[in-house]
Amino acid sequence: MRIDPDRVAEGLSIADQQIIEIAKAISLDAKILIMDEPTAALSGVEVERLFQVARNLRANGAGILFISHRFDEVFDLCDRITVMRDGRYIATHVTKDVTVDAIVREMVGRDVGALFPKTAAPVGDTVLSVRGLGRAGVFSDISFEVKAGEVVGLAGLVGAGRTEVARAVFGIDPYDRGSVEFLGTRLKPHNPKASIDAGMGFVPEDRRKQGLVMDLSVARNTALTLRDRLARFGIIDVRAERKAAAEWSARLHVKTTSQEYAVSTLSGGNQQKVVLAKWLATDPKFLIVDEPTRGIDVGTKSEVHRLISDLAGRGIAILMISSELPEVLGMADRVLVMHEGRITAELSRAEATPESIMHAATASLERTQ
């Protein structure tokens, strides 16, 4: 690790924070090590480094419980696989004797095809138009459109600049050049309130730090974007807040025994549903979803995918950032690929393959129009 040991951990990237957490656990010289989604925010090189450490620990007699939703990692590292669904034990298999499809069926309770329930939706007029967007040292010459009823995937390797572009489009971060037009009107740069008021929503990559207030209740988190509507003379109507939260929690099947429980008590998948509910309650015309299924179980992934497909069917324009190629290929109508701050390819659903996306992500494919 090339990290200054005197740096404050809060300011590090998610990947670096994850590496430090793993190093802390390993430093205990434990005989049993539980790794819960340890690779969720790591790049390929960092994952391989972690796996080498895990193999060395195993060779020295340590036992490892590896919790993950990434099948390639499970099959690469683990000797046995135990499947759970809805809090219940389903089965245990010797890894070499089972297939990914069989594991998915046990996890979801249905066939693999149901993981990406993308249905065709009529594509309407342009909702978002980005032209020549640039920020010195981060990204440059970013131009694309997203139309009503369309799911546009934004793919690329870690560090390609995908999240940075999304944050600039939404107005969280500034940009030096270019423009963002929403429904034909140019948006003020670096002004997220203007974006929200216009009808945009943003489900961020890090739901715990950027999407939720972890100490607040499920109801309050769900209704955060509705505060102006629910307030009278500056005081929030608690009954109206609970009613709105309960409605959206029911629509998205958020599993909680009480709307008054802190959102920190929910599973990762249910926390993600609360973030989605918070933005859907605003009736957006355009939604950015950054890594929408990171760190959640396969069953909930399927629910989130179905929700994204349903939203597109209702005419909402969606920009989906994902590091998982199957998710991009399964859900996107078009795929934009980034490499080192630039868009290197724009691929139709028919043109998008693992090979074509990876070629563009490594800048070995010229940008197509």
Q: Tell me, yes or no, whether 141 and 39 share the same domain.
A: no
Domain membership of residue 50 (yes or no) is yes
Q: Tell me, yes or no, whether 138 and 46 share the same domain.
A: no
Domain membership of residue 85 (yes or no) is no
> Among the three residues 78, 95, 111, which one is the final residue of a domain in this structure?
78
Ordered alpha helix ranges (H), 152-267: 162-170, 192-198, 218-222, 227-230, 238-251
- Using the predicted structure, report yes or no on whether residue 299 has a pLDDT greater than 70: yes
> Among the three residues 78, 97, 116, which one is the final residue of a domain in this structure?
78
Please give the structure tokens belonging to residue 63.
């036992």
Kindly state the percentage of the chain with pLDDT values over 70: 94
Residue 328 domain boundaries: 126-361
* Cα-Cα end-to-end distance for the chain: 40
Q: Tell me, yes or no, whether 160 and 40 share the same domain.
A: no
Ordered alpha helix ranges (H), 27-86: 44-59, 71-77
Domain membership of residue 116 (yes or no) is no
- Give me the chain's average pLDDT, please: 89
Domain membership of residue 208 (yes or no) is yes
For residues 93 and 368, the model is more confident at: 93
User: What element of type H or E holds 329?
Assistant: helix 325-331
Domain membership of residue 212 (yes or no) is yes
Q: Tell me, yes or no, whether 195 and 304 share the same domain.
A: yes
Q: Tell me, yes or no, whether 142 and 242 share the same domain.
A: yes
pTM (predicted TM-score): 0.74
b vs e for 204-221, b when ≥16 Cβ sit within 10 Å of the residue's Cβ?
bbebbeebbeeeebbbbb
> Among the three residues 60, 78, 96, which one is the final residue of a domain in this structure?
78
367 falls in which pLDDT band (50, 70, 90)?
very low
Q: Tell me, yes or no, whether 181 and 271 share the same domain.
A: yes
Q: Tell me, yes or no, whether 232 and 340 share the same domain.
A: yes
- Using the predicted structure, report yes or no on whether residue 369 has a pLDDT greater than 60: no
Q: Name residue, tokens 């807040």.
A: 241
Q: Tell me, yes or no, whether 60 and 152 share the same domain.
A: no
The mean-pLDDT minimum among 2-16, 179-193, 237-251 falls in 2-16
Number of domains in the chain: 2
C-beta atoms surrounding 174 within 10 Å:
11
Give dist(CA 16, CA 11) in Å, integer: 10
What is the CATH number for 59? 3.40.50.300
Domain membership of residue 109 (yes or no) is no
Average pLDDT in the 41-62 region? Answer: 83
Query: Over the stretch 310-336, which tens digit does the pLDDT of each residue have?
Result: 999 999 999 999 988 889 999 999 999
For residues 251 and 2, the model is more confident at: 251
C-beta atoms surrounding 238 within 10 Å:
12
Query: Over the stretch 232-290, which tens digit does the pLDDT of each residue have?
Result: 888 888 888 999 899 998 989 898 989 999 999 999 889 999 999 999 999 999 999 99
Q: Name residue, tokens 């974006």.
A: 195
Contacts of 210 (CB under 8 A, 6+ apart): 204
Q: Can you give the pLDDT at residue 366?
A: 43
Q: Tell me, yes or no, whether 59 and 167 share the same domain.
A: no
b vs e for 317-337, b when ≥16 Cβ sit within 10 Å of the residue's Cβ?
bbbbbbbbbebbbbbbbbbbb
Q: Tell me, yes or no, whether 218 and 71 share the same domain.
A: no
Q: Tell me, yes or no, whether 67 and 166 share the same domain.
A: no
Domain membership of residue 188 (yes or no) is yes
Q: Can you give the pLDDT at residue 111?
A: 56
Give dist(CA 166, CA 129) in Å, integer: 13
Domain membership of residue 141 (yes or no) is yes
Q: Can you give the pLDDT at residue 108?
A: 66
Q: Tell me, yes or no, whether 255 and 338 share the same domain.
A: yes
Q: Can you give the pLDDT at residue 114?
A: 61
Average pLDDT in the 23-43 region? Answer: 82
Please give the structure tokens belonging to residue 122.
């009529």
Residues of the chain by 3-state class (helix, strand, coil), percent to 5: 40, 25, 35
Contacts of 42 (CB under 8 A, 6+ apart): 15, 18, 19, 50
Give dist(CA 232, CA 240) in Å, integer: 11
